[in-house]
Amino acid sequence: MSADAKVPLLKASAIHKSYGDLSVLRGVDLKVTRGECLCIVGPSGSGKSTLLRCINLLEPIESGRILFEGDDIAGAPKSRAPAVRQRIGMVFQNFELFQHLSARDNVALAPVKVKGMSRTQALERAQMLLEKVHLPDKGDAFPDELSGGQQQRVAIARALAMEPALMLYDEPTSALDPETVGEVLQVMQELAEEGRTSIVVTHEMGFARRAADRVMFMDGGLFVHEAPPADFFSPDATVPERLARFLGRLS
């Protein structure tokens, strides 16, 4: 194992974040190792999206440290944020594809604009990535010609195009029709099995059970429990009362 592999890919410590008087993250610690799929679950409003946005430097933190690949990214000058964001792919609940671009162009755009890749090469890679998310024939389709599940898979391909070291998914299937949820989760699971490091905020407990290496429960701006999925979902595990209620509500 190289020295590099021993450094956690991401290590956040004592993250505090408020909006005005509202304290949203209250001393969050989080470590992600390379190759790991970490699922974060928890009630609405507990701070899950805020945490992902802080990791991706879309929101500034008030205190704490975020080390990514060993670098203190939250403490670095703002001018370095775009370089960090290239290394961290993000998939949102509402896809946020560019509506005026075809699926293939959505995927090829950032490699051309940000990495200076030739358009020919970027389009070739985009086709390869669309095949990876099981959309080999949809390159010419525009977002409004695709189902929600297909759009979300294009969004995943677009994030992968930058070859990120870490993928963040924020409830990627919450806005989808039930019949297209499975195809998106399938792609995410395949990527996790390939060893792509990911943090997945989700309410899909079946996915967490199948794909996660570790599940963490957030409540009130703190992680209050974590375990491998087999233990996390075990009915006889000793868990905080708040988590028992959360899981009970879902079943």
Among 44, 79, 238, 251, binds ligand ADP (CB under 6 A): 44
- β-pair type (214-219, 10-19): unpaired
Which residues have a Cβ under 8 Å from the Cβ of 38 and sit 6 or more positions away? 32, 198, 199, 200, 212, 213, 214, 215, 216
Binding part of the chain for Mg ion, among 46-54, 115-123, 124-132, 154-162 by CB under 5 A, reads 46-54
Residue 21 binds ligand ADP, judged by CB under 6 A: no
Among 12, 15, 24, 39, binds ligand ADP (CB under 6 A): 24
Q: From Mg ion, ligand ADP, none, which one binds at residue 45 (CB under 5 to 8 Å depending on kind)?
A: ligand ADP
Binding part of the chain for ligand ADP, among 42-50, 60-68, 71-79, 127-135 by CB under 6 A, reads 42-50
Binding part of the chain for ligand ADP, among 43-51, 73-81, 91-99, 229-237 by CB under 6 A, reads 43-51
Determine the 3-state secondary structure of 87 from DSSP.
helix
Residue 50 binds Mg ion, judged by CB under 5 A: no
Number of residues that bind Mg ion (CB under 5 A): 2
Residue 22 phi, psi (nearest 5) = -85, 115
Binding part of the chain for Mg ion, among 16-24, 48-56, 62-70, 75-83 by CB under 5 A, reads 48-56
Q: Distance between CA 177 and CA 202 in Å, rounded?
A: 15
Q: What CA–CA distances, in Å, run from 206 to 86, 182, 200, 223?
A: 30, 10, 13, 20
The least distance separating ligand ADP from the CB of residue 56, rounded to whole angstroms, comes to 13
Q: Pinpoint the alpha helices (H) of the chain.
A: 3-6, 48-55, 81-87, 103-113, 119-132, 148-160, 178-193, 205-211, 229-232, 241-250
Q: Distance between CA 15 and CA 20 in Å, rounded?
A: 16
Locus of tokens 């075990």: 234
Give 68 or 223: the residue with its C-beta nearer to ligand ADP: 223
Binding part of the chain for Mg ion, among 12-20, 45-53, 103-111, 239-247 by CB under 5 A, reads 45-53
Q: Report the Cα 120 to chain-centroid distance in Å.
A: 28
Reported as type and span, the H/E element at residue 11 is: strand 10-19
Give the residue from 145, 116, 111, 114 showing the smallest Cα distance to 128: 111
Residue 49 binds Mg ion, judged by CB under 5 A: yes
Residue 159 phi, psi (nearest 5) = -65, -40
Tell me which residues in 49-88 interact with ligand ADP (CB under 6 A): 49-50
The least distance separating ligand ADP from the CB of residue 38, rounded to whole angstroms, comes to 15
Among 10, 15, 46, 54, binds ligand ADP (CB under 6 A): 46
Residue 45 binds ligand ADP, judged by CB under 6 A: yes
Binding site for Mg ion (CB under 5 A): 48-49
Q: Which residues bind ligand ADP (CB under 6 A)?
A: 19, 22, 24, 42, 44-50
